Structure 1
Amino acid sequence: MKLNTIQPAAGSKSAAHRVGRGVGSGWGKTAGRGHKGQKSRAGGFHKVGFEGGQMPLHRRLPKRGFTSWTHEFVAEVRLSELEKLGLEEINLGDLINANVIKSNSKDARVILSGEIKRKVILRGITATKGAKAAIEAAGGSVVVEADK
Structure 2
Amino acid sequence: MADLLSRLRPPAGARASGPKRRGRGIGSGLGKTCGRGTKGDRARGPSPRAGFEGGQMPLYRRSPKRGFHAPRGIRYNVVNLRDLARFDAGATVDPDALRAARLVRRAGPVKILGRGTLDRALTVKAHAFSETAREAIAKAGGKVERLMGPRKPREEAPAAAPAEDGQAQG
Q: What TM-score, normalized to structure 2?
A: 0.46
Q: Which moved more, 1:61-70 or 1:114-123?
A: 61-70
Q: 105, 108, 112: which one pairs with 1:106?
A: 108
Please report how far the alpha carbon of residue 124 of structure 1 lies from its aligned counterpart in structure 2 after TM superposition: 3.0
Matched, 1:140 2:165: no
2: CA distance between counterparts of 1:60 and 1:98? Answer: 45
2:93 matched residue in structure 1 = 90
2: CA distance between counterparts of 1:68 and 1:85? Answer: 36
Change (3 A) 1:88 1:61: same
Please report how far the alpha carbon of residue 134 of structure 1 lies from its aligned counterpart in structure 2 after TM superposition: 0.5
Change (3 A) 1:129 1:57: same
1: CA distance between counterparts of 2:70 and 2:128? Answer: 22
Task: Render the CA deviation track for 1:18-74: whole Å, top value 9, x for unaligned.
Answer: xxxxxxxxxxxxxxxxxxxxxxxxxxxxx96867xxx99866653223387767x52
2: CA distance between counterparts of 1:134 and 1:145? Answer: 19
AA in 1 matched with 2:76: V
Please report how far the alpha carbon of residue 93 of structure 1 lies from its aligned counterpart in structure 2 after TM superposition: 0.7
Within-5 A mapping of 1:74-89: 74-86=76-88, 88-89=91-92
Change (3 A) 1:61 1:99: closer
Q: Percent identity?
A: 24
Change (3 A) 1:140 1:68: farther
Q: What TM-score, normalized to structure 1?
A: 0.51
AA in 1 matched with 2:125: R
AA in 1 matched with 2:80: R
2: CA distance between counterparts of 1:74 and 1:120? Answer: 21
Matched, 1:64 2:28: no
Please list every run of 5 or more consecutive structure 2 residues that lacks an aligned counterpart in the other structure: 1-26, 28-37, 40-51, 151-170
> CA contact under 8 A between 2:124 and 2:144: conserved in structure 1?
yes
How many pairs align?
A: 102
2:122 matched residue in structure 1 = 120
Change (3 A) 1:111 1:68: farther
Change (3 A) 1:143 1:56: same
Please list every run of 5 or more consecutive structure 1 residues that lacks an aligned counterpart in the other structure: 1-5, 7-15, 18-46
2: CA distance between counterparts of 1:100 and 1:56? Answer: 40
AA in 1 matched with 2:104: I
Task: Render the CA deviation track for 1:124-146: whole Å, top value 9, x for unaligned.
Answer: 33221111110010111221122
RMSD: 3.6
AA in 2 matched with 1:136: A
2: CA distance between counterparts of 1:81 and 1:58? Answer: 38
Structure with higher Rg: it is 1
